[in-house]
Amino acid sequence: MDTTLKILHIEDSSADAELVAYQLRQAKLSCTIQVVDTEDEFSRGLQEFAPEVILSDHSLPRFDSLAALDLFRKSGMRIPFILVTGAVSEEFAVKCLKAGADDYILKTNLTRLPTAIRQALKEKQTEIERDEAIKKLNYKIQELDTFMYKASHDLKGPLASMAGLIEMVKEEVRDKKMQEYIGMIEQSNRKLERILYDLIEVTKIAQGRPVIAPIELKKLIEETIHSLKNLEQAKEVIFFTSIQVPAPVASDRNLLATIIQNLIHNAIIYRREGLDAYVSVNAYERDGRILIEVEDNGIGIASEIRSKIFDMFYRGNYSSKGSGLGLYIVKQAVEKLGGTIDVKNNLSQGSRFTVSLPSSYKI
């Protein structure tokens, strides 16, 4: 059963207004209708009558449905707006739908009106409930991010003091077996530190907003390679770079550094033993986007795990000593910058990660 519905009807013909009221009565749609035919009356009606549905004829002598739609949109009300009008072109109908109308009914087919109103009311309700659910979900995500951030920060202190204590015990203990155990504890502690560091990075990316500034991409890539060359695993690796991007690029320095550092780090870690390992970093501009490729001749990525490697905590390799968060972090950072990331195996069966970023980033 419908409760009494408040309908604001924009119409200058009293005969047509009566016809509409008649159709609604026939369909047992209980309603109170306020008819208006000027912009002022419509504005006042929106505020004072507080309608639940708007019906609008298209062209009145001093007012039309597009102007009404404009006022309606500005009011922020979330109720159905249905065009009830004489013959209009399809283009016009589409224009009205695009401008925010929910439906349109021809005056020659008024019997459809009650169903259209009920349908539009239902859809609007579903839309409002969905938006409400999304809002709640976003709030929960925000809460979870804050929790993760706080929890990870609170764990930093105890972990650091544990590292200090391990150092002290190492000095004191002479027993070989005990030294071995302490070495194991130290390794586990380092792993925990790594996970914690990555978790903090995840929450930082989730909560932060990109700070866009000019960046010398060539310099950033070279600095990253320079620092990663210190890794034990990078001793035998040869690095190539080809940076053909007009400097500087507009991006967020921290996010970009995170992306490049993680991709190059992985390319080093997952090198193939017994092969002259190389890592090649190329950057260029194409179709208004900046492309950064990180390629290696390492162990490659089997096609069956390729869709999972960007998941949180996913490790595709038993020998991985990482947190399984590196590529997850990369993907979050890329998306924060409005970009995409893709991976393929290259000709040498190693992998090639391609990051595509907008070249002019707008906040």
DSSP symbols for 193-216: HHHHHHHHHHHHHHH----EEEE-
Per CB under 6 A, the segment of 173-181, 252-260, 282-290, 317-325 that binds ligand ADP is 317-325
The window from 56-64, 66-74, 229-237, 262-270 that contacts ligand ADP (CB under 6 A) reads 262-270
Q: Does the protein bind ligand ADP through residue 301 (CB under 6 A)?
A: yes
Which three-class secondary structure state does DSSP give residue 356? strand
- Is residue 317 within the footprint of ligand ADP (CB under 6 A)? yes
CB of 80 to ligand ADP, least distance (A): 47
Q: Does 324 bind ligand ADP (CB under 6 A)?
A: yes
What is the number of residues in the chain?
363
CB nearer ligand ADP, residue 45 or residue 300: 300
E strand or H helix at 267, and its extent? helix 253-269
Tell me whether residue 269 is exposed, middle or buried, using C-beta atoms within 10 angstroms of its C-beta: 0 to 12, 13 to 18, 19 or more.
buried
Cβ neighbours for 181, distance < 8 A, ≥ 6 positions apart = none
* Given 323, 332, 341, 355, the residue binding ligand ADP (CB under 6 A): 323
Query: Taking the complex as a whole, how short is the minimal distance between the CB of residue 76 and ligand ADP, in angstroms?
Result: 43
Q: By CB under 6 A, is residue 316 in contact with ligand ADP? A: yes
Binding letters toward ligand ADP, positions 36-65, x by CB under 6 A: ------------------------------
Q: What is the token pair recorded at 100? A: 């925010």
Q: Which of 68, 309, 333, 334 binds ligand ADP (CB under 6 A)?
A: 309
| Segment interacting with ligand ADP, rule: CB under 6 A, options 36-44, 63-71, 171-179, 299-307 | 299-307
3-state secondary structure 275-311: CCCEEEEEEEEECCEEEEEEEECCCCCCHHHCCCCCC
Residue 267 interacting with ligand ADP (CB under 6 A): yes
Tokens of 264: 């190059």
Q: Does 314 bind ligand ADP (CB under 6 A)?
A: yes
**Region from 26-34, 45-53, 99-107, 313-321 binding ligand ADP, contact rule CB under 6 A:** 313-321
Residue 190 CA: distances (Å) to CA of 9, 270, 296, 321: 70, 20, 27, 10
Q: By C-alpha distance, which of 104, 24, 21, 89 is closest to 57? A: 104
* 326 scored as a contact of ligand ADP (CB under 6 A): yes
Q: Which of 298, 334, 341, 357 binds ligand ADP (CB under 6 A)?
A: 298
State which residue has the least CB distance to ligand ADP: 322
Q: How far is CA 362 from CA 119, 250, 251, 359, in A?
A: 39, 9, 9, 10
Of 96 and 277, which CB lies nearer to ligand ADP in the complex structure?
A: 277
Determine if 344 is a binding residue for ligand ADP (CB under 6 A).
Answer: no
- Chain CA centroid to CA 327, Å: 17
Mode of pairing for the β-strands spanning 63-64 and 59-60: antiparallel
Residues within the interface to ligand ADP (CB under 6 A): 266-267, 270, 296, 298-301, 309, 314-317, 320, 322-328, 351
